[in-house]
């Protein structure tokens, strides 16, 4: 993973809740006592992801995973976004397999915010 001292987190552009939450779908997973608390914010216009943001309270790797996922779905159809696989973030970011649990929980929060089950979005773990 990128150097923890080097400030890679300063390039995270999809972390933090929206300034104006109107029009966003939101879902929350976990809690501080679980070691990972994720709030996913998704704005959808005409079934296309206009914006995606995450509030993440956990390891630095979780922040990177959330930002990577958000960046990958913006501009895509909601149904396509439902098929994203958070494990791809581990490979793309060079994260250890131990971060896989956090990746799956972040993916779950995203899928809840997107209402994937309601539109038949399928994915495989």
Q: pLDDT for 32-76, tens place per residue?
A: 888 899 999 999 999 999 999 999 998 889 999 999 999 999 999
Please tell me what DSSP assigns to residue 46.
T
Q: Which domain holds residue 53?
A: 10-114
Query: Does residue 2 lie within any of the structural domains?
Result: no
Q: How far apart are CA 113 and CA 91, in angstroms?
A: 24
CATH number, domain of 64, equals 3.90.1010.10
Query: Could you read off the pLDDT of 3-26 as tens digits, one per residue?
Result: 455 455 556 667 777 788 888 999
Q: Which residue has the tokens 């973030």?
A: 89
Number of domains in the chain: 1
Give residues with Cβ within 8 angstroms of 54, minimum separation 6: 14, 15, 16, 38, 39, 40, 41, 66, 67, 69, 70, 106, 109, 110
| Pair 82, 44: CB distance under 8 Å | no
CA-wise closest residue to 107 among 90, 124, 84, 76: 84
Tally Cβ neighbours within 10 Å of residue 77. Answer: 15
Tell me if 4 is assigned to some domain: no
Domain-located, residue 119: no
What digits encode the pLDDT tens for the residues 76-109? Answer: 999 999 988 888 889 998 999 999 999 999 999 9
In a domain, 73, yes or no: yes
Copy the structure tokens of residue 92.
């793309």
Q: Is 57 inside a domain boundary?
A: yes
The Cα 23–Cα 5 span in angstroms is 36
Any domain includes 59: yes
- What pTM, to 2 d.p., does this model score? 0.82
Relative to beta strand 48-57, strand 24-31 is: unpaired
């Amino acid at each position: 993973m990128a150097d923890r001292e080097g400030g890679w987190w300063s390039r995270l552009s999809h972390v933090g809740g929206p300034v104006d939450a109107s029009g966003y779908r939101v879902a929350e997973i976990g809690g501080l006592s679980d070691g990972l608390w994720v709030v996913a914010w998704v704005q959808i216009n005409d079934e296309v992801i206009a914006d995606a943001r995450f509030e993440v309270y956990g390891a630095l790797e979780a922040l990177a995973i959330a930002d990577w996922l958000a960046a990958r779905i913006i501009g895509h159809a909601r149904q396509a976004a439902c098929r994203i696989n958070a494990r791809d973030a581990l490979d793309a970011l060079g994260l250890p397999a131990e971060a896989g649990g956090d990746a799956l929980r972040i993916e779950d929060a995203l899928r809840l915010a997107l209402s994937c089950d309601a539109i038949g979005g399928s994915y495989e773990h």
